[in-house]
Structure formats: C-alpha cells, structure tokens
Amino acid sequence: MNQSDLNHDRQLTDLLANAESYFRYFQAVYGDKIYLEAEIDSISLTRQERKQLGFANLGYEIRHCRRCELYKTRSQVVIGAGNPDSKILLIGEAPGFNEDKQGKPFVGEAGNLLDKILKSIHLRREDIYLTNVLKCRPPENRDPEPHEQKACLNFLMDQLELIQPRFILLLGRVAAQALLKTDQSLVQLRQKIHRIGNARAVVTYHPAALLRFPKYKRDTWEDVQIFQKLLRGDDDLQR
C-alpha cells in the first residue's frame, strides 16, 4: 500500500467510527427505530425530556468537535458538571491538566479552592452547574486563543439555552470578557451586576489566580457576597 492508499484507508476508518458512534447515540436516545429529522420534531416530549435530549445531543457534538486544533492534544473534552436543573451557573476558563485527564471541571487544586469559596456562600457543587468557556485543554494551560474561544462559544451558548440560569458567576477575566462581550479588565468588571440574557451575572477572580496571588482573596470574598445577595433576592440589588 502506498502513502495515499494509507491516508485514504485512515480517513475511511475514521468516517466509519464516526458513523457508528452517531448511530449508537441515536439508538441510546430514540431506541431501535430510525426517525427522519421531521419526525423527531413531531415526537411529543415533555420539557424535561427535551432538555435531556438537548444535553445528549450537545454532548455528542462536543465530544466529536474538531472546530479548532485543540482536539489534537486533548485527552478528552470537559463538558460540565453539577445540577443541570440549577438556576445557578458558574463559568471558568478552560480545563487544566487534571480536568483533561478526568473529564470533569475544576478537579485540581483550583477546584478545591472553588469548593471553599462555594461553601462560604452555603453552596455545594450539586447546587450549581459548572462549566468552562473552552471544552478542551489548551496545551501547557496557556490562555485560550481568540479563535479557540470563538469556535467553542456556541457550545456555551447552547448550555445557557438549555439550563436557562438566573444567576451566573464568571470566574476570571477570560470568562468575564467572553460572556460580557467586552475587553474591559476584570477590575473594571467586578463589584457590579451584569445582565446576560435573563440572568444576572457577577464577575470575580479565577481560583487559579487566587492560588498565585492570595492577596485577591479578600476581593473575591466581597464579590461572592454580592452574588449571595443576588441569590437571596436582596432588594437593594434588584437593578
């Protein structure tokens, strides 16, 4: 076999593997009958079933994503974790080394600190949904490139659409700038209440930044106090 035959063979194997996983996904969701797209729309599903289907669909798309080069270096994608029915959404930057290995967000040292921050406002992971702007780890944990964020942002928008959060905590500059569509600094964005669709959002430091610069812990505490007041529906924050 020459090189071109080999490449062709590889492409064919890849295509068949993709087709197989696509049909396995449909079998898991719809059972053994194959529906046409128009029929799928007419199947009557409860709102919760539609949401579950939406998550399954999105999960499939993210796991097979090749919209940027990061698919080449990831071990696996990190879609999100927690309670998809929660009204509280936390958004970080991108998976790191441990997250890439385990397929879950914030499982390393920054995750331990995040748990402490959550505890300080009486929240546990199961009370919230947690995800990142990027679903794949940038090599060496470098900052996400603008084109990588752009390629991945639709997935986050789909998650927002499915979860319909009312309260969003943006962890760090990358999440804040991406979601608020601004290039203002984190310092300019924190200590304010922002709107993202129907949700209200607060910006604070990323837990990994706090590990490097513990002097920002006090500011973070002040930010999450605002977030807690929002959650409680305190009147002076209803703007």
Q: Which residues bind ligand URA (CB under 6 A)?
A: 92-96, 99, 105-106, 110, 132, 208
Q: Return the number of other C-beta atoms located less than 10 Å from residue 67's C-beta.
A: 17
Shortest separation between residue 154's beta carbon and ligand URA, angstroms: 19
Shortest separation between residue 67's beta carbon and ligand URA, angstroms: 19
Residues whose CB falls within 8 Å of the CB of residue 156, separated by 6 or more in sequence, listed in order: 91, 131, 133, 178, 179
Shortest separation between residue 206's beta carbon and ligand URA, angstroms: 6
**Residue among 92 and 165 whose Cβ is closer to ligand URA:** 92
**Residue among 10 and 124 whose Cβ is closer to ligand URA:** 124
- The conformation of residue 73, written as its DSSP 8-state character, comes to T
Shortest separation between residue 95's beta carbon and ligand URA, angstroms: 5
**Residue among 90 and 199 whose Cβ is closer to ligand URA:** 90
**Residue among 82 and 105 whose Cβ is closer to ligand URA:** 105
Shortest separation between residue 101's beta carbon and ligand URA, angstroms: 12
Shortest separation between residue 132's beta carbon and ligand URA, angstroms: 5
Residues whose CB falls within 8 Å of the CB of residue 22, separated by 6 or more in sequence, listed in order: 60
Q: Return the number of other C-beta atoms located less than 10 Å from residue 65's C-beta.
A: 18
**Residue among 26 and 176 whose Cβ is closer to ligand URA:** 176
CA-CA distance, 183 to 235, in Å (whole number)?
30
CA-CA distance, 19 to 225, in Å (whole number)?
49
Q: Return the number of other C-beta atoms located less than 10 Å from residue 219's C-beta.
A: 16
Identify the bridge partners of residue 195 per DSSP, sorted by sequence position.
Answer: 200
**Residue among 18 and 112 whose Cβ is closer to ligand URA:** 112
Query: Residue number with the shortest CB distance to ligand URA?
Result: 92
CA-CA distance, 22 to 35, in Å (whole number)?
13
The residue to which tokens 């470098």 are assigned: 142
